[in-house]
């Protein structure tokens, strides 16, 4: 059974990687419409075969990953999921005929190693809280709502000053809270609580809808301004960090009596992964190409008589 779970995790990582690349390709093909009229750009995106196929592949990848998580230890499945970053990088480089530089390879390695180490340390340092108190859930909801509002304000600012790294950071935070509330909602559902939708409180569903919807917008905007492997790397790093920190700080999932060095190791792993994403956002060949193209377009009017 474990080997079947590992196979599902590998297949899921490949589906997520290919789906991300296809969605990014769909966004690139509709950029001309986005520049003319936003509504036309959205309609073109919804009719793009590449974008729709990418969405289906990502859904399939999520289903396979959920199956793997349900049938195998997280310590086995989570590091395999990080391979999606490597697969996306190779696919994107081959399709776009990009030559990866040493900095990009090092950044990808830092993202994968740092995120995998952080998750494995978090598994060893935390315990599941089977019954969060109403107070803990309310505090988590307040934090999630504040984060969502801040991301919405940032989205308004980035209409004029877009940043692929900021979009990725926001998407990771938003989807991190979506994962937290999916978990909290599943506790109510399995417990057979009354009220809400099948026992899941309405404010849980509201947070999931708001954060998830805005997260999708951030991801698509990140595809518009950066390569898909940067998007996958950012989500792989930020998403689990938000979930783990919420569990430790708000839901009380930290094991008692842990050695002092565990926290420092987690912080170090998080720093390595974050630096990898930052380096990727600055030195990826696709990012450099986009930056040079933008600089060329900006200086073009000055070249005239």
Kindly report, residue by residue over 197-206, the tens digit of the pLDDT.
766 788 888 8
From first CA to last CA, the distance across the chain in angstroms is: 71
Orientation angle between helical segments 2-29 and 83-96, nearest 10 degrees: 40
pLDDT at residue 74 greater than cutoff 70? no
Whether residue 158 sits in one domain with residue 253: yes
Shared-domain flag, residues 41 and 178 = no
Whether 115 and 222 map to the same domain: the answer is yes
Residue 144 and residue 50 share a domain: no
The residues facing 200 across adjacent strands are 197
Asked if the structure places residue 243 within a domain, the reply is yes
How many domains does one find in the chain? 2
Q: Which residue reads 């930020």 in tokens?
A: 238
Q: d(Cα 209, Cα 84) in Å, to the nearest integer?
A: 25
CB 72 within 8 A of CB 19: no
Residues facing residue 197 across a β-bridge: 200
pLDDT of residue 143: 93
Same-domain check for residues 151 and 38? no
Q: What is the mean pLDDT of residues 120-144?
A: 83
Which residues form the domain of 171?
105-289
Residue 93 φ/ψ, nearest 5 degrees: -65, -40
Both 231 and 270 in one domain: the answer is yes
Q: What pLDDT sits at residue 145?
A: 94
- Is the pLDDT at 131 greater than 80, yes or no? no
Sequence-distant (≥ 6) Cβ neighbours of residue 107 within 8 angstroms = 233, 276, 277, 279, 280, 283, 284
Record the tokens describing residue 1, joined without a space. Answer: 């059974």
Judge if 228 and 183 occupy the same domain: yes
Tens digits of residue pLDDT in 79-99? 677 778 888 888 878 887 878
Residues contacting residue 55 through CB under 8 Å, at least 6 positions apart: 19, 23
Q: Are residues 2 and 34 in the same domain?
A: yes
């Amino acid at each position: 059974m474990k080997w079947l779970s590992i196979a599902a995790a590998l297949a899921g990582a490949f589906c997520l990687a290919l789906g991300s690349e296809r969605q990014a390709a769909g966004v690139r093909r509709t950029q001309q419409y986005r520049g003319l009229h936003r509504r036309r750009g959205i309609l073109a995106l919804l009719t793009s075969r590449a974008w729709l196929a990418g969405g289906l592949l990502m859904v399939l990848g999520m289903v396979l990953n959920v199956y793997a998580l349900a049938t195998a230890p997280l310590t086995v499945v989570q590091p395999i999921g990080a391979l999606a970053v490597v697969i996306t990088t190779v696919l994107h480089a081959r399709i776009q005929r990009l030559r990866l530089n040493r900095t990009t390879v090092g950044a990808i390695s830092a993202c994968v190693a740092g995120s995998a180490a952080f998750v494995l340390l978090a598994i060893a340092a935390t315990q599941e809280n089977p019954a969060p108190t109403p107070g803990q859930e309310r505090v988590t909801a307040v934090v999630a709502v504040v984060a969502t509002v801040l991301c919405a304000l940032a989205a308004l600012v980035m209409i004029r000053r877009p940043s692929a790294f900021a979009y990725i950071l926001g998407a990771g935070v938003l989807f991190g809270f979506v994962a937290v509330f999916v978990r909290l909602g599943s506790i109510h559902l399995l417990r057979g609580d009354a009220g809400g939708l099948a026992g899941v409180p309405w404010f849980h569903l509201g947070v999931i809808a708001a954060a998830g919807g805005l997260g999708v917008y951030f991801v698509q905007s990140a595809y518009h301004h950066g390569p898909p492997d940067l998007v996958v790397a950012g989500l792989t790093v930020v998403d689990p960090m938000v979930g783990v920190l919420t569990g430790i700080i708000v839901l009380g999932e930290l094991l008692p009596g842990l050695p002092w060095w565990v926290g420092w190791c987690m912080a170090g792993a998080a720093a390595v992964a974050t630096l990898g994403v930052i380096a990727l956002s600055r030195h990826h060949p696709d990012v450099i190409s986009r930056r040079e193209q933008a600089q060329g377009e900006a200086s073009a009017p000055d070249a005239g008589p």
